[in-house]
């Protein structure tokens, strides 16, 4: 029994570390944009490269989750995730920046698949819902990472020093808690295609992926464009602009901490529909406001709306009866990131043409899909 609490804390730190470094990156996007004199469409293409790296990693991570085990794969990713972020700050040209972002996206995506698979295993052993709590730790880490960006800008700390310090501290703490991975018994496929890196998902899993496909666009817009949006719409400085993603992440943390109770009370289907409605309301408030305060309230509402949906999606995928957990999570993640690819690229192009209003078509489909009468993301 003592192994389950230890593994639970290990998963908590893995989620927090994954979110921490992503939040660090998101909070310094304006600095990268100015350093390389990027317009919004060029930034959108670079963010597309990052998402592409994640998509490329998903099927491989799903296969390795089954062969190596989710604990070992999470540990490997934790070792190299930080150095991948540091390479972004060391890039001296657009080609090297694109390559660094692709690598960072690959490590972020691979760790995402592995840690969700590990979290689902812990949830099964505990016999109760804990995935919302794990995802709360990701949001907490992302919020802390964004706040470190605010502090770094005020103290005039370079991106190299900032990325290196946070990556080192986060990795040391996370690896210390994870410790030595336990020997797992990876599940082997029942058919002869067990060597394949990709399994075609079932129809039910595709529908679950459709929900993830929709929500991911909104979350991607918040992470990639919130700071740029605030600077354009409210005229704030770089430091204040980083607070947008921090407010979004903080709201997600608070909601996800109550996520298990919310799902138990309302049920997964109603929870998903209400989440989409709240997210749309937050977006409308954000784009109709020209002040930082109201915009941050809007970002917070969006965070509340998106909070519980993705944990439900990943938990349902890991419990799919027809697909191995690693492959199922990889399939859902791939569908989610394809939406992120479209939103990121289109967001950059629309931001170049229409400025702040671009967030509306990017993020509202999440609310539309989640609010649809047939949309469900529930445990198996």
pLDDT (mean) for 236-240: 80
Which segments of 158-308 does DSSP mark as H helices, in order? Answer: 159-178, 203-234, 238-241, 243-257, 259-266, 268-288, 292-306
Whether the predicted pLDDT of 1 surpasses 50 = no
Pick the closest to residue 215 from 368, 361, 342 (CA basis).
368
Pick the closest to residue 200 from 330, 66, 337, 65 (CA basis).
330
Q: What are residue 226's phi and psi, to 5 degrees?
A: -60, -45
Q: Are 352 and 229 in contact (CB under 8 A)?
A: no
Whether the predicted pLDDT of 377 surpasses 50 = no
Residues present in the chain in total: 380
Is residue 342 very low, low, confident or very high in pLDDT (cuts 50, 70, 90)?
low
Structure tokens at 175: 């690896």
Alpha-carbon distances of 149 from 170, 260, 273, 378, rounded to whole Å: 15, 31, 33, 36
Higher pLDDT, 60 or 276: 60
* CA dihedral over 51, 56, 62, 64, signed as positive or negative: negative
How is residue 25 annotated by DSSP? H
The CB density around residue 267, as the number of other CB atoms within 10 Å, is: 12
Reported as a single tens digit per residue, the pLDDT across 168-197 is 999 999 999 998 877 766 554 444 444 455
Pick the closest to residue 356 from 294, 306, 286 (CA basis).
286
pLDDT (mean) for 353-375: 46
Residue 43, C-beta contacts closer than 8 angstroms, at least 6 positions apart = 29, 33, 228, 348
- Give the pLDDT score at 48: 86
Alpha-carbon distances of 98 from 76, 104, 132, 223, rounded to whole Å: 23, 10, 33, 18
- Give the pLDDT score at 190: 45
Q: In the chain, pLDDT over 90 holds for what percent of residues?
A: 32
How is residue 162 annotated by DSSP? H
Average pLDDT of the chain is 81
pLDDT (mean) for 204-227: 78
Structure tokens at 316: 């349902």
The CB density around residue 83, as the number of other CB atoms within 10 Å, is: 16
Alpha-carbon distances of 118 from 6, 26, 77, rounded to whole Å: 12, 25, 13
- Give the pLDDT score at 361: 45
- Residues 266, 272, 273: CA angle, nearest 5 degrees: 95
pLDDT (mean) for 308-315: 86
Helix (H, G, I), strand (E, B) or coil at 196: coil
Is residue 340 very low, low, confident or very high in pLDDT (cuts 50, 70, 90)?
low
CA 31 to centroid of chain Cα atoms: 21
Whether the predicted pLDDT of 380 surpasses 80 = no
Residue 333, C-beta contacts closer than 8 angstroms, at least 6 positions apart = 54, 58, 109, 112, 113, 116, 212
How is residue 128 annotated by DSSP? S
Lowest-confidence pick of 235-244, 285-294, 351-360 = 351-360
Residue 256, C-beta contacts closer than 8 angstroms, at least 6 positions apart = 132, 133, 135, 136, 139, 307, 308, 311
């Amino acid at each position: 029994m003592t192994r389950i609490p230890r593994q639970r804390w290990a998963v908590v730190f893995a989620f927090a570390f994954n979110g921490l470094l992503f939040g660090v990156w998101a909070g310094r996007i304006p600095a990268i944009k100015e350093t390389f004199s990027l317009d919004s469409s060029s930034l959108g293409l670079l963010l597309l490269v990052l998402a592409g790296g994640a998509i490329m990693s998903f099927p491989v991570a799903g296969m390795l989750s089954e062969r190596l085990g989710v604990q070992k794969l999470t540990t490997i990713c934790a070792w190299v995730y930080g150095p991948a972020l540091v390479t972004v700050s060391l890039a001296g040209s657009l080609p090297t920046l694109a390559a660094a972002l692709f690598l960072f996206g690959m490590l972020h995506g691979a760790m995402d698949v592995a840690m969700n698979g590990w979290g689902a295993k812990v949830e099964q052993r505990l016999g109760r819902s804990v995935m919302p709590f794990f995802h709360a730790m990701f949001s907490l880490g992302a919020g802390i990472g964004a706040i470190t960006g605010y502090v770094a800008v005020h103290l005039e700390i370079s991106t190299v020093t900032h990325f290196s310090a946070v990556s080192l501290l986060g990795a040391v703490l996370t690896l210390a808690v994870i410790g030595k991975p336990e020997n797992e018994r990876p599940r082997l496929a029942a058919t002869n295609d067990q060597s394949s890196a990709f399994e075609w998902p079932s129809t039910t899993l595709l529908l679950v992926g459709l929900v993830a496909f929709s929500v991911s666009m909104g979350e991607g817009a918040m992470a990639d464009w919130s700071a740029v949006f605030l600077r354009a719409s409210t005229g704030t400085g770089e430091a204040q602009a980083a607070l947008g993603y921090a407010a979004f992440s903080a709201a997600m943390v608070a909601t996800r901490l109550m996520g298990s109770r919310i799902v138990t009370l309302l049920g997964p289907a109603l929870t998903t529909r209400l989440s989409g409605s709240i997210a749309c309301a937050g977006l409308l408030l954000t784009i109709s406001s020209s002040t930082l305060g109201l915009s941050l309230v809007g970002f917070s509402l969006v965070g509340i709306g998106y909070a519980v949906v993705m944990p439900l999606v990943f938990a349902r995928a890991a419990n799919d009866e027809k697909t191995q957990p690693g492959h199922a999570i990889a399939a859902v993640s791939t569908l989610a990131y394809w939406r992120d690819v479209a939103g990121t690229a289109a967001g950059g192009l629309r931001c170049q043409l229409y400025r702040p209003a671009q967030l509306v078509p990017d993020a509202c489909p999440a609310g539309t899909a989640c609010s649809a009468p047939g949309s469900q993301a529930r445990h198996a």
